[in-house]
């Protein structure tokens, strides 16, 4: 039986080949992709803590990230349900000043699995880039990721620009990322916030269906689950 601790260690030390090999083994044993993912996310927590204690530096963080990305790529087809029929659209990006993209990519994959078409703007995304993509692709939501406390405030500028745009009345904005709390999301006027990729699916779906006037969310998501998680849901205007 596969030892997923080896996967965690491989991501921690940036051993891409082992991370990929153990992930392949785990998938062959039909271990659920979200369980596999948890070991890698834990590894990134360890890497972050070591960075904080100056036991490792940016290059080591980078090779850990590369190992995780290579292994996550194997999970992507499983996270996206077969029979993918997009009926919702999200423009996703990491906020200006921030180059972290693993969490944003995971949220994008999970949203695809929930029938969202994803337009990925990558990292270091400016207000102007978000707004241009919103006008070009006409998404239901913009999803913004932020990992740095120094630049997470830039998300507010995107929200303000969306609110001020007369031509985008139904566009909603959801935010997330390790330092982004529910309180912070409310303070910048986001329509939705989620602490992780799985709950991002619940929140994004709720936000979109509410904006579409489907106020009876029962058919789309479990409202009790949303409330229990303390998640914010958009209230339809008017």
Alpha-carbon distance 46 to 227, whole Å? 31
Q: Is 188 in the site for ligand B1M (CB under 6 A)?
A: no
Does 191 bind ligand B1M (CB under 6 A)? Our answer is no
Nearer to ligand B1M, 26 or 125 (CB): 125
186 touches ligand B1M by CB under 6 A: no
In the list 51, 74, 138, 217, the residue contacting ligand B1M (rule: CB under 6 A) is: 51
Q: Are 9 and 64 in contact (CB under 8 A)?
A: no
Closer to ligand B1M by Cβ: residue 1 or 80: 80
User: What is the distance of C-alpha 174 from the center of its chain?
Assistant: 10
Q: Whole-angstrom Cα distance, residue 234 to residue 190?
A: 9
Check binding of 80 to ligand B1M (CB under 6 A): no
Instruction: Establish if 178 lies at the interface with ligand B1M (CB under 6 A).
Output: yes
Q: How far apart are CA 214 and CA 52, in angstroms?
A: 45
**Cα gap 5→43, rounded to integer Å:** 9
Sheet containing 88-94: give its strands across: 116-120, 88-94, 141-145, 172-176, 192-193
158 binds ligand B1M (CB under 6 A): no
* Least CB distance to ligand B1M at residue 173 (A): 8
Distance between CA 219 and CA 217 in Å, rounded? Answer: 5
Which one among 196, 217, 223, 229 touches ligand B1M, defined by CB under 6 A? 196
Which residues would be at the binding site for ligand B1M (CB under 6 A)? 41, 44-45, 47-48, 51-52, 58, 61-62, 64-65, 97-104, 106-107, 143-145, 147-150, 174-179, 194, 196-197, 200
């Amino acid at each position: 039986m596969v030892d997923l601790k080896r996967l965690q260690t491989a991501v921690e030390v940036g051993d891409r080949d082992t991370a990929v090999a153990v992930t392949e083994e785990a998938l062959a044993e039909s271990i659920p992709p979200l369980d596999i993912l948890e070991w890698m996310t834990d590894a990134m927590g360890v890497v972050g803590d070591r960075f904080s204690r100056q036991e490792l530096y940016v290059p080591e963080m980078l090779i850990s990230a590369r190992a995780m990305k290579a292994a996550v790529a194997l999970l992507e087809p499983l996270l996206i349900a077969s029979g993918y029929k997009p009926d919702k659209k999200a423009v996703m990006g990491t906020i200006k000043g921030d180059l972290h993209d693993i969490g944003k990519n995971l949220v994008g994959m999970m949203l695809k699995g929930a029938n969202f078409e994803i337009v990925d703007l990558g990292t270091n995304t400016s207000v102007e880039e978000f707004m241009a993509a919103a006008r070009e692709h006409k998404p239901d939501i913009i999803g913004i990721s932020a990992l740095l406390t120094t630049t997470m405030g830039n998300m507010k500028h995107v929200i303000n620009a969306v609110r001020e745009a007369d031509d985008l009345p139904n566009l909603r904005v959801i935010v997330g990322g390790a330092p982004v709390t529910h309180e912070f999301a409310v303070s910048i006027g986001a329509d939705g916030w989620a602490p992780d990729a799985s709950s991002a699916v619940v929140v994004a779906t709720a936000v979109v269906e509410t904006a579409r006037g489907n106020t009876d969310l029962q058919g789309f998501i479990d409202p009790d689950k949303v409330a229990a998680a303390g998640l914010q849901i958009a209230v339809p205007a008017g």
